[in-house]
Structure 1
């Protein structure tokens, strides 16, 4: 009897060790997958603050919370099941679907530039976001979640590629860990960014002169940082969208654009060995942004200019 109990305890101990090893493996794989998607995570962090810019301070965190929950739903309830099924049965469909999302990102970024150049929506666009009606917050949240969907899709597909050799269940568990971890990271950072001015206001009321100086610096600097991030967010849309199209076209058999960019990266890396890696990354980023701008401009022309011309003869 005691021998059977000892044997059972040994089995339990072995199962615990196996489970612990599996947890470690999942954590390591999730870390590798997240690291590969780091560039898109940075873009996601830069894009989101532009959607809450201009709203009153009491609405910023509730909006970010709603966007974060929408992002998590995107990843876990839509993107994850779809990419797991596609990776298992139709892996060749992943690239075209991702490229469609890339075109949408290019359109979003180019449209923002078009609106700034042409005056956008006129006086309606010049007023603070919080004064544009009760539905404006819902509109901005929905727009942010739509944009996040594309960025989340790329994050999840990049992560999937890193664990493609794992079994289906392992892939699913790893991607759930990646989805939750990255969402918490991105929207935690976004929340800190948009509330830094409140932190500065609190510090400016402290008795310490150093704290007051730091507080005033934050109060004066954060609106400028948010405005800068809004611009960076637009550029990030073009960059990420163009990067998706560049890689996707190579995967689908049109190798010339990717080969040209890759050759330019090598030239720069060889010319400046010390900063070669950074400069090569800048070359790829610039090329991706230009591709995104070109494709986005074409999409804007189709969506805005062509319909306007077709309506003109009727007037």
Structure 2
């Protein structure tokens, strides 16, 4: 996959995964929280942060492709009722879980141990699809639409990325270089700064080790032995460690012993997300950071249905306050 020495790849990938976990805990990339913010606070700060993370990945993919770097590009899939059904289940599972797959990592970083049940539930949902022999949509043979765009788009992507980096540095230096360094050391990150780190580290991990996310790993394990399962589990552990460090350094880490009801809720929510992700196919992390930037229609349709499902769930929860349907914290 890469020209780096093998002895360097895994430590570098673990560092990237840890930084990404830290940024997820500090950032604003949970889809459930973003929809909740739109519904109840009537502004889209979190949604814009998610969009910016996707744009960072898109810009990086275009520049990597222009440079001839071997970054894997995921396939697209046919859209249809299976896509809609899978996205509805993905949204319902995220709402029940009170966090998407990104948000679950952030919740763990705050010390909410019940969210360790979410990956287990995700695996159960994927396993159910495998045992039921549910058919996923047909993979498409053509390359992603955005990769067929003119070279001008790559140039614009490079200019945008450079402009965003420069603007961020200038904002940080307004209080003086010493103040900028202190803020970085203290981990005081604005959501968009955390979003930058999420996008860049996700892209670096993709270049270093290929498909690596814990949702990809769990989906593969549901079918049987997964390729490079050991190193990928190590990356997942680094992701969790980074999230926990993010919670500790921000003073948000409050260990919370899981109650049975929370374990059941997280397991069930994870199972619905796993079930839906194989029907689409794709979890919301892959849809947001790869499928949508590459302009795959199935990813855009799935995210729209997922967001509407979450909105309906949260609206119903506000009117009929069920124990498992409260608003996300």
* TM-score tier after normalising by the smaller chain length: under 0.3
Which one scores higher on RCO, CA 8 angstroms, separation ≥ 6? 2
Structure showing greater Rg: 1
Query: Structure 2 length normalisation: TM-score?
Result: 0.25
